[in-house]
Amino acid sequence: MSHEELTVRAVAPDALARVIGDAPHDTFTVTDANRRSLSERLGAVATDRHRRIDAWLVERGGRPATPFSWSPTAARRILGNGALRRLARSRAVTLRDAARDEIDDLLSRAATGHQRAGSLGAWLANRHPAELALVHAGAVDWAGSLADVAASLAADWTVASADAYYDVERARTTLRARRDLVIGRGDAVVRVRGGVPRSSAGPGLRADLAAATFADPEGRAPRRYVGVWPDAGVILAVDGTDANVRAGARDLVRAAIVVSCPGDRLAA
Amino acid sequence: MTLTTTTPAGSILEVLRGERAARPPRDSESATGLRAILEDGLGEVSNRFTRTSPLVITAANVVRHADAIDIARAPIGRLRGALVAQFVRLIAVGHRSDNAFGDALRAWCVDQSSLELRGILDDLDADGRARLATEVSAHAATLTRALATVPATWSVRTALRSRLPLTGGAIVLSDVVDLVIGSSTESTASTVLVDVTTSPIGSSAERLLRFHALVHTLRTSVAPWRVAMFSTATGELVSDDVDVTLLGAAVDDVLAVARR
């Protein structure tokens, strides 16, 4: 079974619309047996705490990330997506104001004690106005890029309210699928990333596809999962086929194995 | 190229944006041809590089031989430029500052600043730091006066990064534009790229601006409308309308760098 990805240079303004428009109509649907199988495989991988597996971990071959800390770069996607969501609800606001409102909302919640320690709101509450302005600029930049991606689509889109999560039964594992724009009723999903796609970008996209498919209540795969790298002018897409979902699930399990046995990567 | 020797009254951005009705239709045709010419030309030299060890071509590579001495490349000049670039980001979202150096420094420190430049900052004695603060404040004052207030309704992006892999990733065009106004999704050409420099505008400006224009065209598949450079040292503004001739010259510049 092949699981090829489609790579497209953004050589025309309608390149993304064509990638989505050309998506195959038949997609894979995961069954209860598939869910049980995933649960057994991940359940067999020992862990002493609840773990979260995502495309980022797959792309790094299971190597642990440096400890997370908030920064303007880390905050830009959450705030930028929120700003574009606001803008889509009300054309009366500008992107700049919408991003500012996102920050102000989090600051208000932090001021009233509704933000836990380590959250974005708590981090923002301790920032100097100049640092907040930089966070604001980062959010506007991200939202602007996402708005340009959305404007190039021919179909209806919404900004994803959150990433997709799937708690794997009896495996102390949550799978996460990163998503930024949802096309139609989940017919296609667009994920935007900064920088340049690496050679592991395809497996990463398939991992997102698999996690999103398992997270769907009906187990239906999106017709196409599309990665957009605006900085590089590159679009990468994988179809919601049986082969791609299975390959993505296998990579998620492999990443879990590497995480559980960091000294024995070859075993993965 | 249009040269304005002093900062125009009001916002330089208003001047650069001009009348909406006077803008030409957007050019979404040139990108394909430009990429093909580049890929063909770079193909001759790409076997010397690999995806894991690519040749990265930046604006600095393209202009380096045009200005033998560039005071902005000195470490302290780079630090000053980095801080002013951060200040551009702050005022682009309407931040009002009464301590430009302090604000730029805070923003720079929280934003994954260069370790090398951090070392230079840490090594400055009190006098050196005071001189840097005075310089950054002066540049920031010129910038604030020239930009005035950026309207919230405008689509503004700052420190826009591009990293375009060519010839299968063996050669990469890398660029950062300080300020991008407008969107490439409009039906008319409407994107203006602004480079803010803390040096006087030199003979390399034209080369630098057309590199920005080429990279942006390949990134978005739509040619920008204008490219401009504003000097916070002198208040000078130069701008150029982007057309196929300018983009073709930028392709020649890149090919010349790759063949060196």
pLDDT digits (tens, 9 = 90+) for A148-175: 999 999 899 999 999 999 999 999 999 9
Query: Can you read off the two tokens belonging to residue A264?
Result: 């024995």
Residue A36: pLDDT band (50, 70, 90) is: very high
CATH 3.90.320 spans which residues of chain B?
4-67+152-259
- Which candidate, A201, A219, A210, A199, places its Cα nearest to that of A239? A210
Write down the pLDDT at residue A48: 87
Nearest Cα of chain B lies from the Cα of A225 at a distance, in angstroms, of 21
pLDDT in tens, A60-74: 998 877 888 999 999
Note the helical H segments in chain A.
15-21, 32-43, 55-59, 72-89, 95-111, 120-125, 129-151, 201-215, 242-260
Of the given ranges (A8-22, A116-130, B153-167), which has the lowest mean pLDDT? A8-22
Please indicate whether, in this complex, the C-beta atoms of A233 and B220 are within 8 angstroms of each other.
yes
* Whole-Å CA distances, A46 to A49, A228, A249, A267, B4: 9, 35, 17, 14, 68
* Residues B199-209: b if buried by 16+ CB within 10 A, e if exposed: bebbebbbbbb
How many whole angstroms from its chain centre is CA B70?
A: 16
How much is the pLDDT for A268? 41
pLDDT digits (tens, 9 = 90+) for A228-251: 999 999 999 999 999 999 999 999
A–B: how many Cβ contacts below 8 A?
118
Domain boundaries, chain A: 5-63+156-260, 72-151
Higher-confidence residue: A20 or A262? A20
Is the per-residue pLDDT at A11 higher than 80?
no
pTM beyond 0.90: yes
Residues from chain A that touch B221, judged by Cβ atoms under 8 A, are 10-13, 15, 233
Q: What is the CB-side half-sphere exposure of residue B80 using CA atoms within 13 A?
A: 25
Class of domain B4-67+152-259: alpha beta
Task: Please tell me whether residue B218 adopts helix, strand or coil conformation.
Answer: helix
Q: How much is the ipTM here?
A: 0.92
**CA-based nearest residue in chain A for residue B107:** A131
Which of B103, B104, B158 is facing A141, going by the closest CB pair? B158
Question: Bigger pLDDT: B102 or B76?
Answer: B102
CB contact residues (below 8 A), chain A span 84-113, against chain B: 94-97, 99-100
* Contact state of B32 with A71 under an 8 Å Cβ cutoff: no
Taking the C-alpha atoms of residue A130 and residue A132, their distance in angstroms, rounded to an integer, is 5
